[in-house]
Amino acid sequence: MRTSCVEINLENFEKNIKTARGKLGDKKILAVVKADAYGHGAVAISTRASAKGIDFLGVGIVEEGIELKNAGIQTPILILSQELEERVEEIVRYNLYPTICSRNFLDALDREGKRQNKIIALFILLDTGMGRYGLVPDEFIYFLKLIKKMSWVRIEGVMSHFPIAGVDFQFTREQIENFKKLIQSAESMGITIPIKSLANSAAFLTDKDSIFDMVRLGLILYGISPLPDKGQNEYLPVMTVKSKISFIKTIPPGHSVSYTRSFIAKRPTTIAVVPIGYADGYDRKLSNKGWMLVKGEKAPVIGDVTMDATVIDITDIQDVKIGDEVIIMNTSVTAWEISDAIDTIPYEVISRMGKRLPRVYI
């Protein structure tokens, strides 16, 4: 197996589910497993989530849902955004739950349901402020009336999404109130909505009023809070990225390191090569900014991160040998720290850890 790897602690994942469940009581949980479960391995994570009683799994595209179905996953799978009409045959054939927010896609589902002789349970996505997918509020009643007249589709749920939960409380509050009003308008028409879902991880941590029938939890189940100052101590990190030193040498003052000569040694410098690079998801913007842990001590990244390798400075760390373990990300080099260094978000850091890195499940 390759020296560099991503270690996934499934026991911590289970504990995070238990912690969230303890706060939610009988509310449903959808575990977001899109983007290969944020880099954790969708099949392994979904299998464990299903075994722990997760109510729904959320994927981003049809292929992700099919992968889970082919792996034998029985838990209901919701496609979190609307797909193209050309995908309806697969959506219906694999019994995936589609999300709808357009007339053409709704009509295509109804026709395909008739063709396959299946009634399709769907989720309506409302745009209460995200400004991406979703029906604007004025369209909602029109779609409810359409669905009432159709024979091959039924409403399983209605959901919306927060763009800035846990940060802009006023805007989030407005979204919650608008969502409530839209649900009430549906109920006044005699339409039953089995599952109402608004809260994501950030809202779950900060606003109980955002919790309806089901919460959609992603980052927090992987042990990373979407808010750096909220909930981090309650949830256990699931992913550790590690490697081993493959080469060591000492360079003299004035010697450069890596492409572009962005690092010039000012003293005799002992460098170590770590076989992980930007092709593995270790961002090139960490050049001369990042650090790794060697023997529990910080070793700064020096020079440009390359496709397959990164150089670190181990001058001040004693007794380092080829083959020594290097921690690239864990509780001491966190996804938040890495994301802050390159001006991004933890979601990107963990989901970009590539397929070249073997997943080791413990």
pLDDT one-digit tens code per residue, 81-114: 999 989 999 999 999 999 999 999 999 999 999 9
The percent helix, strand, coil of the chain (3-state, each to 5) is 35, 25, 40
* Pair 137, 178: CB distance under 8 Å: yes
Region 122-144: mean pLDDT is 92
Residues 44-95 pLDDT 10s = 999 999 999 999 999 999 999 999 999 999 999 999 999 998 999 999 999 9
The answer to whether domain 239-361 has CATH 3.90.1200.10 is: no
Phi, psi angles (nearest 5°) of residue 306:
-105, 180
In CATH, the architecture of 10-225 is Alpha-Beta Barrel (3.20)
The predicted structure's pLDDT at residue 301: 98
Q: Residue 175's pLDDT is what?
A: 94
**Whole-model pTM over 0.85:** yes
> Which range is least confidently modeled, 131-140, 153-162, 206-215, 234-243?
131-140
Q: What is the pLDDT of residue 150?
A: 96
Rounded CA separation 151/199 (Å):
30
pLDDT of residue 281: 96
**Angle, CA 45 vertex, CA 43 and CA 48 arms, to 5°:** 105
For residue 32, what pLDDT band results from cuts at 50, 70 and 90? Answer: very high
Give residue 230's pLDDT: 82
Tokens 């779950």 -> residue? 204
pLDDT at 129: 84
Band the pLDDT of 231: cuts 50, 70, 90: confident
Residue-level pLDDT at 96:
98
pLDDT at 166 over 80: no
Helix H, strand E, coil C: the string for 280-304 is HCCCHHHCCCCEEEECCEEEEECCC
pLDDT digits (tens, 9 = 90+) for 242-254: 999 999 999 999 9
Q: Taking the domains of the chain in order of start, what are their residue ranges?
A: 10-225, 239-361
pLDDT attached to residue 232: 81
Tell me what pLDDT residue 280 has: 97
Domains 10-225 and 239-361 share a fold: no
Mean pLDDT across the chain: 96
Q: Tell me what the mean pLDDT of segment 319-333 comes to.
A: 96
Q: Which residues are catalytic?
A: 34, 259
**CA torsion sign, 166 to 167 to 169 to 172?**
negative
User: Which H or E run includes 8?
Assistant: strand 5-8
pLDDT at 335 over 90: yes
pLDDT at 261 over 90: yes
Extended strands (E) in 252-290: 256-257, 263-264, 269-274
| pLDDT, average across residues 6-26 | 97
SS3 state of residue 197: strand
* Weakest-pLDDT range from 66-70, 126-130, 264-268: 126-130
- Enumerate residues 6+ apart whose C-beta is below 8 A from 122: 97, 98, 99, 100, 106, 109, 153, 154, 155, 156
